[in-house]
A = this chain, B = another copy of it.
Amino acid sequence: MGEAKRTRVTPTIYDVAGRAGVSIASVSRVLNGQGSPRAETRMRVLRAVRELSFVPDGAARALSNQLKEVVGVVFRRGSEVPFEDEEESLLFIDVINRGIEVAAQRRGFDVLMSSVGIREDGVSTRVAAIAGKADGLILHDRMLSAAGIARLAESVPVVTLAGRPSRVSINVRCDNESGMRALIRHLVTDHGYRSLAFLSGHPDSPDNQARARVFEAQAIACGAEIHAAAAWHGDYSASGGARVIASLLDEGRILPRAIVCANDQTALGVMHALARRGIAVPNEVAVTGFDDVPVARHLHPPLTTVRQPIQELGATAFEVLHSRINGSAGRRDVVLPVRLMIRESCGCAHQPSPLPAPAATVADEA
């Protein structure tokens, strides 16, 4: 026999109970620390568990407890064609996911990660399948329409990231408004740049919309001139940013003194495109980002940007979802603080001697 087909059936709580000579209720109690089983009982159960290598079935526990201890995370895989350093970088989404995972771990939850192809259809079907396997869902930016989210939220708590809160879902985002305001003040007031442009991200991203809106308002308030938005539509990708610059230059357009990008990846693409045309950053054109992804500080020149607490964004999303799963109400619009990171792409000097960094700016850094 030996290697024979022996369809080794995984032991169940009944096998453990039988071997230990107790009821399944006792086994369950010992394993879950409920009640106060006699020491004798405890021992026998534990021994049987060990001898059988018993692992309780999660599905059965979940069904009985009405709790799976699993949250689902849905995000888009490989947006756009990778761009130079981009492909290999731990990007925004990855850092957020790590934050979710670490926070979940602390609560004894596990994370069901599900990426969706950029052009994949039937997303809502896929998301529904995940929903069935989890106690709650965290949806990254623009995964589902508002209606889709509303429908989904009927069956499971939903937290969106960088989206919009709704009557049935919670949203976690960073404080785009303060961040953009501080950034523009730095560019216009501290550096004295008079002409600016905002290179946008995905048009339907709430983050992008907020950043664009505040950019305009603040730039005008500071008395700077804004380059018409028409030609400045990116898509949050490096290649998108590079494309915009390339076509602007091809048309012989004059660039503004400073380009404010909707996110770091866009800034990365812009800097590449500028370098290729021999335009000096920051001396001829200043460039800024938003997010402060890890690679930002290693660009040449190091990127001035607005730091979002990215990993914390993920951790917070999980915590909010977790308390929602446990029935608490809580705010539906969670906003995390940001911080202006002044490096060199804005025109400030190398770290050691922060020449053009006046007091006001330094305060932002604190």
Contacts and interface: CB of A to CB of B under 8 A. Distances in A.
Nearest to A127: B55
Interface residues of A, number: 56
A295 interface: yes
A121 interface: no
Contacts of A58: 59, 62, 68, 129, 132-134
Given A87-B294, A112-B110, A63 B59 contact: yes
A89 B110 CA distance: 24
A55 B155 contact: yes
**Could you say which of A85, A98, A155, A327 has the most chain B C-beta atoms within 10 Å of its C-beta?**
A155
Contact of A88 (B61, B134, B152, B293): B293
Contact of A112 (B11, B90, B111): B111
Contacts of A298: 84-85, 88
**Could you say which of A85, A89, A102, A113 has the most chain B C-beta atoms within 10 Å of its C-beta?**
A113
A111 B110 contact: no
Interface in A285-323: 293-295, 298
B57 A63 contact: yes
Contacts of A152: 53
Q: State the number of copies, please.
A: 2
Interface in A50-109: 52-63, 68-70, 72, 77, 84-85, 87-90, 94, 98, 101-102, 105, 108
Interface string A138-179: 000000000000011011100000000000000000000000
Interface string A13-40: 0000000000000000000000000000
A259 to B, nearest CB: 23
B63 A112 contact: no
Given A63-B57, A68-B58, A155-B10, A110 B114 contact: yes
Contacts of A62: 58-59
A283 interface: no
**Could you say which of A59, A113, A151, A293 has the most chain B C-beta atoms within 10 Å of its C-beta?**
A59
A128 interface: yes
Contact of A90 (B54, B90, B111, B129): B90
Contacts of A128: 55
A178 to B, nearest CB: 26
Nearest to A131: B55
Contacts of A247: none
A327 B6 CA distance: 11
A47 B112 CA distance: 29
Given A63-B59, A89-B89, A155-B11, A113 B101 contact: yes
8 contacts: A55-B155, A60-B63, A70-B112, A85-B298, A88-B295, A94-B94, A101-B115, A110-B113
Interface of A: 7-8, 10-11, 52-63, 68-70, 72, 77, 84-85, 87-90, 94, 98, 101-102, 105, 108, 110-115, 128-134, 151-152, 154-156, 293-295, 298, 327
Given A88-B298, A112-B113, 7 more contacts: A55-B156, A57-B63, A58-B132, A88-B294, A89-B90, A108-B129, A111-B113
Those 8 A-B pairs whose CB atoms lie nearest each other, nearest first = A88-B294, A58-B133, A59-B62, A53-B154, A58-B132, A55-B155, A59-B63, A59-B59
